[in-house]
């Protein structure tokens, strides 16, 4: 996992706000939020009511999600002391580590779980633990943005753990998660209600 001391204001200025360096701007995040809400609501057959954003940074997913579903209960988790001190109360972000989600007082399960740009940095043991916890916290869809050795990776790659797509699929299947769309996963229990070609077992 990346050292926590890196996640200062300067880090977020560089990777979140600098238009020359940031990987995703507001429009890209808004498109992802709209996609994931649509997939979750398709699976749940109702409106999304809650979202957990793991490794949320400054909570950049919060506003796009609330624009789509204003009554949504948003909970963010991040390891940055700067983020929690500055945005914790106003954006409902708690201090926590993706490697120890199961130790946090999270009132799950959540209709939507987002882990964007965080799981690629975990060790094998930590990823297995996080994936199991994510599965237990997901009642609808989990958006797990993962990139493999076959992908062109841009952005902050210091500490990135290279893995093949096959390896990620095995790890996620082992945690009880199966793919049902672009970076979208459901639990095996939820998948039983879907048609055979709506998910990859």
Comparing CA positions, the residue from 152, 183, 164, 182 lying closest to residue 23 is 152
Sheet holding 93-95, edge to edge: 93-95, 73-78, 50-54, 110-116, 138-145, 184-187, 177-181
Residue 152 is predicted with a pLDDT of 82
**Do 1 and 122 meet the contact criterion of CB atoms below 8 Å apart?**
yes
CA distance 14 to 10: 6
Query: What would the pLDDT profile of 102-118 be if each residue is shown by its tens digit?
Result: 999 998 899 999 999 89
Query: What would the pLDDT profile of 27-49 be if each residue is shown by its tens digit?
Result: 999 999 999 999 999 999 999 99
How do the domains of the chain map onto residue ranges? 4-198
Please report, for the chain, how many H helices and E strands are present, in that order: 7, 7
Task: Name the pTM for this structure.
Answer: 0.90
Residue 181, sorted as left (phi over 0), alpha (psi -120 to 50) or beta, turns out to be left
**Per-residue pLDDT band at 15 (split at 50, 70, 90):** low
Q: Please, which residues bridge with residue 143 across strands?
A: 114, 184
CATH of region 4-198, choose from 3.60.130.10, 2.102.10.10, 3.40.50.150, 3.30.70.20: 3.40.50.150
């Amino acid at each position: 996992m990346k050292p926590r001391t890196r996640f200062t204001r300067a880090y977020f200025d560089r990777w979140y706000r600098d238009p020359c360096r940031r990987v995703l701007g507001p429009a890209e995040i808004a498109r992802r939020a709209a996609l994931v809400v649509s997939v979750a609501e398709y699976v749940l057959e109702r409106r999304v009511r809650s979202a957990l954003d793991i490794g949320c940074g400054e909570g950049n997913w919060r506003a796009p999600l609330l624009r789509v579903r204003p009554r949504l209960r948003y909970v963010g988790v991040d390891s940055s002391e700067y983020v929690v001190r500055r945005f914790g109360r106003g954006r409902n972000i708690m201090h926590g580590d993706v490697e120890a989600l199961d130790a946090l007082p999270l009132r799950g399960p959540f209709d939507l779980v987002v882990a964007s740009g965080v799981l690629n940095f975990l060790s094998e043991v930590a990823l297995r633990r996080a994936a199991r916890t994510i599965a237990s916290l997901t009642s609808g869809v989990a958006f797990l943005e993962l990139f493999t050795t076959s992908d062109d990776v841009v952005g902050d790659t210091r500490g990135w753990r290279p893995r093949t797509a096959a390896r990620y699929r095995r790890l996620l299947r082992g945690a009880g998660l199966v793919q049902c769309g672009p970076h979208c996963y459901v639990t095996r229990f939820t998948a039983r209600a879907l048609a055979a070609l709506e998910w990859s077992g």
